[in-house]
Structure 1
Amino acid sequence: MRFNSDLLRVARQVRGLSQTKLSVDSGLTQGAISKMENGLSEPSEEVVQKLADTLQFPPSYFYQSFQPFGLPVSVHPMFRKKASVPVKELEQLEAGLNLRLSHYQTLLRSVEIDRDLELPRLDLDDYDNDPVAIASLVRRTWQIPRGPIKNLVQYVERAGCIVVHCDFEGVGVSGVTITLKGLPPFIFINRNNPADRQRFTLAHELGHLVMHRLPTPDMEREADRFAGALLLPPDQVAPYFMDGVTLPKLAALKPVWRVSMAALLIAANNLGYLTANQNQWLWRQFSAKGYRTNEPPELNFEVEQPSVIRDIVQLHLGEYGYTEQELAFVLHAELSDLRRLHGLESEPPKVGLRIVK
């Protein structure tokens, strides 16, 4: 097979190296590295071994047919409120997700996941451009009981999506959704965020999958409205605000609805239970108490854990009889990367994957 120049770039960016630093560490010229990454030069076995040793990838990694993807438009600065994310951090984020997806593509060849919920694909134009109406329809389609959603990750995975917790620390990204031909949708969530933020991010990314085929200027606002209505249906949460909205009430409702106090405050305001002055006063209280950055830790609740990728990995290591070394070989990965990316440093849980054999 031919050397995959795109995977050299991915490997370099995964390790956080510039071409200049890779040149210094490997003893190869920067010009040679640049030509290899641009597909203008086919490296010898000796050069590939130097790259593999420096970047800590097996030589076979560079000969895979996997074609890396670019980040979705919702992650690009022009579509995000925080437009100051350095290019290097975004490149490393993209490379890390590509590395994961190359593993998942291989792992998924051995299993067929049984989906028992349909993932709706709905056009906003058909619903008066109202994400709240679409969120309500998704709840009904999935037959979610009235009240708080106990475990959103389970519903999303039952609909055929794969949820993955990743370390996005320092990038300023809460979630990324990737859809590739022939693979289920992947929703990557920043594991460094608290549970309430993770749930809202997952609902937001689900909104993109349900409503958005092509990017639009309003897509982030629409996904936020979808997420808010999915987790806090207006007709169901309204009664809690009828006798007033206070910080103690928001704190009491947080573990019940499993959303942030801030999300509850926004919902109360959207429903018309606050005057402009009351809303501003409550937000000033949030700022004074530091709740805009960190809500009271005693209100935190348990993070919902994804299971699909975890179960597929454990299936290979258990029923399929792979050793970790064999699985790393199949994935063209170093053993340390296998363990880090797939949570093998901790005790493996019981496999609960729904698989059609």
Structure 2
Amino acid sequence: MPTGVAEFNGDRLKEAREARALTGVTLAELTGVGRPSLSQYEHGTRAPSPDVLERIARALNLPVSFFMHPSRSAPGETLFFRSKSASTKTARAREQRRFDWHVDIASLLQAHVMFPSVNFPVFDDLPDDPSRLTDDDIDRLALAVRSFWGLGEEPVGSVVEILERNGTIVSRYELGVDSLDAYSGWRDGVPHVILGADKGSAARSRFDAAHELGHLVLHSKVTPTTWMRSEVLKQLEAQAHFFASAFLLPAQTFSSDVTIPTLESFLALKPTWRASVAAMIRRAAWLRLIDNEQERRLWIARSRRGWNTREPFDDELDVEKPRLLSAAFRLAFEAHKFSIGQLRVSLPYSLADIEYLSGLPEGYLTGAEDLGLLRPLEPTEHERPRILSFPTDRRS
């Protein structure tokens, strides 16, 4: 039988270590606790003493209560990462844990604030086997999603806002690994998207959001086991990429804008379509607006201009940022739906983690705690959840 803190849960120690992207050796160095002891704690064969648990909690910047919570049940849904290479294994493990925390935050807020309903089209003819999807199928599906959401075929505004309006919970923060641009998944019927805030230009981030939309629409039936197969992952990524291109650059309207397929003409279209020149070259090639030789010359010319890492207008287009989670927190606090103390009980993470994963300004929660401004307000029997009005984006 384990000794020490009886309520300690070793699964939560492993979760915390992975969420901080730490090895057992590194955590041992940070805490002064032997690696064998930490391993025993994680496997549940021993429990730490209160003093040791305090040291572990401080090192991982988490409240002691975090390590008392029950184990999570394994989700059946797939998280769509762009790489499963050994070099991203630690980062993927960290993001899987962060994703769980992100879902917990959203679930708490949804209990107090009425978010937009999930409004995704259901395609009855979508094959269970994604390998049966053709480029033409995906092009048609991207247009169908636009039609379902009433977007027409003109350039759309913020893709992030479109996702949020239709029930997607979106977060944006630094992922810290070059090969992880963004990821997404369904949880209990709710779509979630995580965007990397350290991934360069607005056009690239916008394309990432459309790419993740592609996964949510096309690959909801893909199991984690199927995703782990390298040949399947490569195909799923290509399909989501193609979906993003078709969603952002609809064939008919984009083709009519490409009168002369030169770098200058594509660059002139960038502020309107908010897509990179690279994305427009690929789309133009698929639409046969340019032949293979023209495409080759465009890539060479683009490279010679130094646009492989950064294109013109990248610093002028606004990055599309999620707003629902932070707005929901503000609304819940203004309505006194819960106190910081209640928040700590419901979400056993550091306030800094909650701020970071929710897009709140640094110090928003800790500042409120220090001032003692938030207090609980018991809901009446007839009280309904507050409805979260979506801020209007007046950009075209």
Partner of 1:201: 208
Q: Which residue of 2 aligns with 1:50?
A: 55
Aligned partner of residue 65 in structure 1, secondary structure: coil
CA–CA distance in structure 1, aligned partners of residues 168 and 123 of structure 2: 13
Q: Summarize deviations over 1:159-207 as a string: whole Å, max 9, x none.
A: 21111112112242111112223x6221001112221111111111111
Aligned counterpart for 2:190 among listed residues 151, 169, 184: 184
Deviation, structure 1 residue 322: 4.6
Instruction: Select between 157-166 and 87-96 the one with higher mean Cα deviation.
Output: 87-96
List per-residue Cα deviations over 1:93-141 (Å, max 9, x = no partner).
Answer: 3333333333333333333323273343554449963100111111111
Distance (whole Å) between structure 2 residues aligned to residue 76 and residue 32 of structure 1: 35
* Map of 2:94 onto structure 1: 92
* Contact 2:118/2:168, CA 8 A, preserved across alignment: no
Cα separation, 1, equivalents of 2:133 and 2:185:
27
Structure 2: gaps spanning 5 or more residues: 1-5, 366-385, 391-396
- The answer for the alignment partner of 1:319 in structure 2 is 335
- Comparing 4-13 and 92-101, the one that deviates more: 92-101
Question: Aligned residue for 2:241?
Answer: 224
- Aligned residue identity for 1:262: A
Kept in 1, the 8 Å contact 2:82–2:180? The answer is no
Q: 1:144 is matched with which residue: 148, 151, 163?
A: 151
From 120, 131, 135, the counterpart of 2:138: 131
CA–CA distance in structure 2, aligned partners of residues 58 and 40 of structure 1: 22
* One-letter amino acid matched to 1:141: F
Find 1:344's aligned residue among 337, 342, 361: 361
Q: Which amino acid aligns with 1:340?
A: Y
Letter in 1 for 2:179: G
Aligned to 2:326: 310
The alpha-carbon deviation at position 346 of structure 1 amounts to 7.6
Alignment of 1:1-357 (within 5 A): 2-65=7-70, 67=72, 72=78, 74-75=80-81, 77=83, 83=85, 85-115=87-117, 117-121=119-123, 123-125=125-127, 129=134, 130-181=137-188, 184-193=190-199, 194-212=201-219, 213-214=221-222, 215=227, 216-217=232-233, 218-241=235-258, 243-297=259-313, 300-320=316-336, 322=338, 324=340, 327-342=343-358, 343-345=360-362, 353-354=388-389
Shift of 1:46: 3.2
Provide the C-alpha distance between the structure 2 equivalents of 1:97 and 1:192, rounded to a whole number of angstroms.
17
Question: 1:206 is paired with a residue of what secondary structure?
Answer: helix
Change (3 A) 1:86 1:146: closer
8 Å CA contact 1:195, 1:301 repeated in 2: yes
Alpha-carbon distance between aligned partners in 1 of 2:49 and 2:351, rounded to the nearest angstrom? 25
Code of the residue aligned with 2:166 in structure 1: it is: A
1:38, distance to aligned residue in structure 2 (A)? 2.0
- Report the Cα distance in structure 2 between the residues aligned to 1:69 and 1:171, rounded to whole angstroms: 27
Deviation larger for 120-129 or 334-343: 120-129
Q: TM-score, normalised by structure 1?
A: 0.86
1:168 to 1:68, Cα distance in 2 relative to 1, 3 A: farther
CA displacement at 1:326 relative to structure 2: 5.3
**Residue 41 of structure 1: how far off its partner (Å):** 2.5
* 1:344 CA drift (Å): 2.6
Report deviation, 1:73.
6.0
Cα distance, 1:264–1:313 mapped onto 2, change above 3 Å: same
The alignment's C-alpha RMSD in Å is 2.9
> In structure 1, what residue type is equivalent to 2:309?
T
Query: Aligned equivalents of 2:21 and 2:99: distance in 1?
Result: 14
User: What amino acid maps onto 2:28 in structure 1?
Assistant: S
